[in-house]
Amino acid sequence: MQIRLFISGRNYNLAEGVPDRLTLPDGATLDDALEALADVLPEGTRLPASCLVAVSGRHCGTVGSHEAERLRDGDDLVVLAPVAGG
Amino acid sequence: MNVMGEQNQERGSSGMGGPPLTDEERTRYQRQLGPGVLTEEGQARLKRSTVFISRVGGMGGPAALALAMAGVGRIIFAHGGRLELADLNRQVLGSEQGLGKPRAAEFAACLRQKNRLVTVEAIDREPDDAEAVALAGRADLVISAAPTFAERLRLNRAAVACGVPLIDAAQWGMTGTLIAVKPRVTACLRCVYPQDPPFEEMFPVIGAISGAVGSLAALEAIKILSGVGQSTFGSLLLIDGYRGHESRMQLQRNPTCPCCSSLQRFSPMSREASRD
Ligand SMILES: [Zn+2]
């Protein structure tokens, strides 16, 4: 199955070369997707534990602490590095 | 809990009662009175409302400007320091004439020039825990547009303690986020950010995204205070201007949130407070 991927928030520029889709085995979970995402991030970068994750508009927690979530073909995964500028 | 799209209800001191609009106010606000915008009673509720905003720089400035022009009765803002040249790419309440001068007085004068019917109170410092609670307690709504998570979380605690809606506006580069919190009903900032993100003193920012997010914060405030339209409590709006992408996520409350769960009683000196 394929999911759409969107990384944004602080340092969004570092994610510019990251593909906008991930191909995962059927039955994959949010953890599987985050592992697959870590593999395609630019060398030397990683997602901070404080990043929010949402699947198809539903907030699931953070990269460091989230609910178990089974993904479906066509889901949108948003990873948002918190921004605080004022 | 998602209550996005709920119809707004009257609340706080902006409820029924109080003086009606004057003829001058009816003329001044005529373009925002009518179908799809405000009712006369909604406009009168704005007039009776108090909004507390910390800070009024990139996002809080446009938010304060929009609220003053819309006729919110009292705007209390906190902003310390002196105006610097590098502020002028985004801080719309500042001007070249104000460079080197205290921001609070400059920004207050700018707001008063926009609408003399609005009372503006300027505080020239970042409020501490106790002052944040005192100011939130005087307000019908709090807007958090602060440059650090520590201050955002302080405003969040104060709003939750006082049961006052909070709108959090944040930015980085060409992105921005907006969260509306209905205390103890929808997720608070601590529910959403259980770990403190890393501190960053000099974040990049373009004034165009500051203005966009600040204006949307003001629009949410106007809807909540006037009782008109549908609020977006319980969701996070992400605007990624760099790639032209917007998305919204429905936020979940953390049942063990150290700030807003039913087990917590607020104290400015609590462990949650000292951690920030
Ligand atoms: Zn909470």
Is B171 within 8 Å of A85 when comparing Cβ atoms?
yes
Cα B180 from Cα B187, distance rounded (Å): 9
| DSSP codes of every residue in A33-61 | HHHHHHHHSPTT----TT-EEEETTEEEE
Is B31 in contact with B123 (CB distance < 8 Å)?
Answer: no
B138 Cα–ligand 1 center, Å = 22
* pLDDT computed for residue B202 by the predictor: 82
Give the list of residues 6+ apart from residue B261 with CB closer than 8 angstroms, or none. Answer: B253, B254, B255
Residues in chain B closer than 8 A to A60 (CB atoms): 252
Is B71 in contact with B43 (CB distance < 8 Å)?
Answer: yes
Least Cα separation, residue B205 to chain A (angstroms): 8
* pLDDT computed for residue B200 by the predictor: 77
* Domain regions of chain A by residue span: 2-81
Q: Does A85 touch chain B (CB under 8 A)?
A: yes
Q: Does A54 touch chain B (CB under 8 A)?
A: yes
pLDDT tens for chain B, 276 residues: list them.
334 445 564 444 555 567 889 999 999 999 999 999 999 999 999 999 999 999 999 999 999 999 999 999 999 999 999 999 999 999 999 999 999 999 999 999 999 999 999 999 999 999 999 999 999 999 999 999 999 999 999 999 999 999 999 999 999 999 999 999 999 999 999 999 998 887 777 889 999 999 999 999 999 999 999 999 999 999 999 999 999 999 999 999 999 999 999 756 555 444 444 333
Q: Which residue in A4, A30, A51, A83 has the most chain B C-beta atoms within 10 A of its own C-beta, making it the best mutation to test that interface? A: A83
* pLDDT computed for residue B17 by the predictor: 67
* pLDDT computed for residue B263 by the predictor: 58
Q: Does A2 touch chain B (CB under 8 A)?
A: no
Please report which residue ranges of B115-261 form alpha helices under DSSP H. Answer: 129-138, 149-162, 189-192, 207-226
CATH fold for the domain made of A2-81? Ubiquitin-like (UB roll) (3.10.20)
Q: Out of B146, B152, B240, whose CB is closest to A12? A: B240
Query: Could you tell me the domains of chain B?
Result: 12-18+37-275 (3.40.50.720)
Three-state secondary-structure class, residue B217: helix
Neighbours of A17 (CB within 10 A): 8
Structure tokens at B37: 């915008």
Which A residues, 15 through 44, put their C-beta within 8 Å of a C-beta on chain B?
Answer: none
Residues in chain B closer than 8 A to A78 (CB atoms): 238, 247, 249
B148 Cα–ligand 1 center, Å = 18
Instruction: Please give the ipTM for the structure prediction.
Output: 0.95
- Give the containing element (helix H, strand E) for B271: helix B271-275
Ranges in chain A, pLDDT < 70: none
